[in-house]
Amino acid sequence: MEALRKQVSDVAGEGDEVVANENKKIKLSSEVEVKRTSVSVHENISSFENFHLTKILNQNSSTKSIFVEGRFGNDIRPAVILLEKTSFVDEAIKKMLCKDMTVKQQFHNDIYGSYEGFPSAEFNGVKTTIIHPATEKHIQKYSSHPAYLVQETPEVYKNVIEPHIQSQQFSMQWVYNILDHKSEADRIVFEDKDPILGFILLPDLKWDMKHIDNLYLVAICHRKDLHSLRDLTADHLQLLKSISEKGKQNIAKKFNIPEKQLRVYVHYQPSYYHFHVHFTALSFDAPGSHVERAHLLDMVIQNIQMVPDYYQKATLVYAMRENDPLYTKLQEANVL
């Protein structure tokens, strides 16, 4: 890690110089610059040869993941890279434990020994997610910041949260691309095309689709008038039940995971304001599945069946990081 931090320090100055040079290019020929930066790195990337690392945003030792910021070549637009070590595949263990895997002893004590193993390249894959061009919101999202518990009453939602959501321009284009089959159509596991009760079920980007024990899918509803848990009433029970039942049935059919081994939940606050439901394997300690953010869909349905406007009356508790745009507004409203 120290070597990586030194690399960041060495490259940071270079990145600043690139930005300075690029600013000059923009002034000299804005037409050329616009044409150049319109090219997406996703169209031709095959390695990180021209990637300039500028900052380590955060790392998680439990998930063996790290988030960094940098730039590709002479492109001044920032990129956020998510690197996560993949899980072991049962079928690969026999191939891994062979003469091609070398070991270096750290120490041994009686019958116990600690070693560092070096398997062949085919077993060294790292799940990699590239966000480019990344916005400041992406950079802040993956940066390390202290978190605080928020008790959101209906009054706080009405006076602080709802106006904030309405004032922000959250881009939902990537969601609409999925719903309109313009993107990721080949990844769709199931679709109910009903405009009111329908949804699309597809793998979440956090899942590499190689390890069933880390299964993670998301159901995105077709209707666009539902943004979060706060919008749900008795009028939406049929939609919620349909997502639950059809989602579980199709996951069992496609991935052979029984209903009782699935965790089905809704986030509050959600990461984006178009209603969606998460499906993860119980064996997977999924990010965001902890109690201060995840609301089990079965419990959501039961709450609404008991009190039709439950989520308009309830006080919802969740964690919020101090870099979140809502943090300052909640501070100003004396909520924190």
- What residues are annotated to the active site? 276
Instruction: Tell me the C-alpha to C-alpha distance, in Å, between residue 282 and each of 208, 212, 257, 258, 328.
Output: 17, 11, 10, 11, 35
The answer to whether 304 and 232 are in contact (CB under 8 A) is yes
Cα first-last separation, the chain: 35
The answer to whether 217 and 251 are in contact (CB under 8 A) is yes
- Residue 282's closest CA among 259, 314, 252, 309? 259
- Residue 162's closest CA among 44, 5, 316? 316
* CA–CA distance, 287 with 290 (Å, rounded to integer): 8
* CA–CA distance, 188 with 182 (Å, rounded to integer): 12
Task: Quote the Cα angle for 130-133-136, to 5°.
Answer: 100
- Residue 183's closest CA among 212, 216, 159, 205? 205
Helix (H) or strand (E) holding 243: helix 237-255
Spell out where 61-123 has E strands: 65-72, 79-85, 102-109, 112-118
